[in-house]
Amino acid sequence: MSNPRKTLLIVHHTPSPATRELLEAVLAGAKDPEIQNVDVLARPALAATLPDMLDADGYLFGTTANFGYMSGALKHFFDTVYYPSLDHVAGRPYGLWVHGNNDTVGAAAAVGKLATGLALSQAADVLEIVGAIDAATREKAYELGGTLAATLME
């Protein structure tokens, strides 16, 4: 019998209080009481490994915008896992949030391109946040976490 439990891997770069707030909201959504049979594994991008990637059933990536691109930490993660993951993760769902101070477009596009290369399936709109975190942003981050986890329950 196949294992009914699924794993949502959250790979994030969280260098500040604002980004920590976002991560906590995403985690709370992913662990909403209505979600069942989904284990949430949150890994800082510099600590996430190839086995984490291969063993997961879906992904949430969270990054800051740095110099118009994803954070170096998340880039390092993709540098590490990209080629060994090809042909193993196709079709798995993913979501993405990006936090910046003025422009998150390049970072979001960069992660999107890698996800396309890996043939991941986008399961939620990209959440792009600029500046301070308010209640509405926290709610969107909660929803993002919940959406990805709920996708794995289907």
Ligand X SMILES: Cc1cc2nc3c(=O)[nH]c(=O)nc-3n(C[C@H](O)[C@H](O)[C@H](O)COP(=O)(O)O)c2cc1C
Helices 72-85 & 105-117 angle (0-180, nearest 10): 10
Q: Considering beta carbons, is residue 16 or 36 the nearer one to ligand X?
A: 16
Minimum CB separation from ligand X for residue 46, in Å?
A: 15
The Cα-based distances of 24 to 29, 68, 119 in angstroms read 9, 24, 28
As given in the structure block, the two tokens for residue 142 are 């909660």
**CA angle, 32 as apex, 28 and 141 as ends, to 5°?**
45
Minimum CB separation from ligand X for residue 149, in Å?
A: 24
Q: Is 14 in the site for ligand X (CB under 6 A)?
A: no
> In sequence order, what E strands does 24-120 have?
38-44, 58-66, 69-70, 93-100
Assign residue 137 a region: left if phi > 0, alpha if psi is -120 to 50, beta otherwise?
A: alpha
The 10 Å Cβ neighbour count of residue 43 is: 16
Among 65, 73, 111, 123, binds ligand X (CB under 6 A): 65
Residue nearest to ligand X (CB): 100
Q: Considering beta carbons, is residue 68 or 117 the nearer one to ligand X?
A: 68
Among 33, 67, 135, 136, binds ligand X (CB under 6 A): 67
Q: Is 4 in the site for ligand X (CB under 6 A)?
A: no
Q: Considering beta carbons, is residue 108 or 115 the nearer one to ligand X?
A: 108
Binding-site string for ligand X from residue 73 to residue 112, where x marks contact by CB under 6 A and - marks none: --------------------------xxxxxx--------
User: Contact residues for ligand X (CB under 6 A)?
Assistant: 16, 18-19, 64-68, 99-104
